[in-house]
């Protein structure tokens, strides 16, 4: 009887771990703040051919945050490979000598590939780090009474996820801290199948 009890106890302990490791697909939707795009938006060049009467600054009024959809495939329990796509938008005032002289609109469309490593892989708790590399399509519009411009370009995009934690079973929530196009802090919802 003890042998059966011991086998059942081992199975109840090992099976949840095995199930967590056998999940092969993950889907995330997330929002991040203080991304590398934020730094770009406040420092974007304005190509003005005319002499300005003072220093030019950009005051962000509205931003969406870095909104991303990510798919991950787990070839092994601890490593995931995936792709991500997202958007971030900034709208604000162009100021000369602290006076509003126009509006700017910066849109960032990003796509990239990711790799993550899970240090802790429990049934309802995971701790991980990762990196991503891709491209960002930047669309900048500056509108002032005396000058308007539009500029599109492609930038190298990267993200370093220093630390992330996921809580939950098949459905979960996560929080990550890092630097790059997804933001310094990122929160989201996750589905693992």
Going from the N-terminus, what domains does the chain have, and what CATH number goes with each?
Answer: 25-192 (2.40.160)
Using the predicted structure, report yes or no on whether residue 12 has a pLDDT greater than 50. Answer: no
Neighbours of 120 (CB within 10 A): 11
Residue 130, pLDDT score? 97
Mean pLDDT of 107-132: 96
Residue 60, pLDDT score? 84
What span, in angstroms and rounded, lies between the C-alpha atoms of 98 and 118? 48
Residue 106, pLDDT score? 93
CB environment 45-70: b (16+ within 10 A), e (fewer): ebeeeeeeeeebebeeeebebbbbeb
Across all residues in the chain, what is the average pLDDT? Answer: 85
What's the pLDDT tens digit per position in 23-53?
699 999 999 999 999 888 877 655 554 446 6
Measured between alpha carbons, how far is residue 10 from residues 3, 5, 29, 66 in Å? 10, 9, 36, 44
What's the pLDDT tens digit per position in 50-109?
446 666 777 888 999 999 999 999 998 799 999 999 999 999 988 887 788 889 999 999
What span, in angstroms and rounded, lies between the C-alpha atoms of 5 and 20? 23
Q: Find out whether 21 and 183 touch, Cβ atoms under 8 Å.
A: no
pTM over 0.75: yes
Using the predicted structure, report yes or no on whether residue 133 has a pLDDT greater than 60. Answer: yes
Split at pLDDT 50, 70, 90, the class of 158 is very high
Split at pLDDT 50, 70, 90, the class of 177 is very high
Closest CA to 82 of 55, 61, 112: 112
């Amino acid at each position: 009887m003890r042998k059966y009890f011991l086998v059942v106890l081992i199975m109840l302990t090992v099976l949840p771990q095995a199930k967590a490791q056998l999940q092969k697909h993950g889907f995330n939707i997330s929002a991040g703040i203080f991304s590398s795009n934020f730094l770009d938006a406040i420092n974007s060049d304005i190509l003005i051919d005319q002499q300005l009467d003072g220093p030019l600054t950009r005051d962000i009024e509205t931003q969406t945050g870095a909104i991303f959809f990510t798919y991950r495939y787990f070839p092994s329990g601890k490593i995931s490979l995936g792709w991500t796509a997202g958007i971030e938008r900034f709208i604000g005032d162009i100021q000369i000598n602290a006076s509003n002289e126009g509006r700017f609109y910066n849109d960032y469309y990003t796509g990239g590939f990711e790799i993550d490593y899970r240090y802790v892989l429990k049934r309802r708790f995971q701790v991980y780090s990762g990196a991503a590399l891709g491209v960002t399509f930047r669309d900048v519009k500056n509108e002032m009474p005396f000058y308007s411009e539009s500029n599109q370009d492609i930038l190298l995009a990267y993200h370093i996820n220093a630390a992330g934690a996921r809580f939950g079973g098949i459905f979960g929530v996560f929080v990550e801290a890092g630097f790059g196009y997804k933001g310094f802090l990122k929160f989201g919802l996750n589905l693992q199948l």
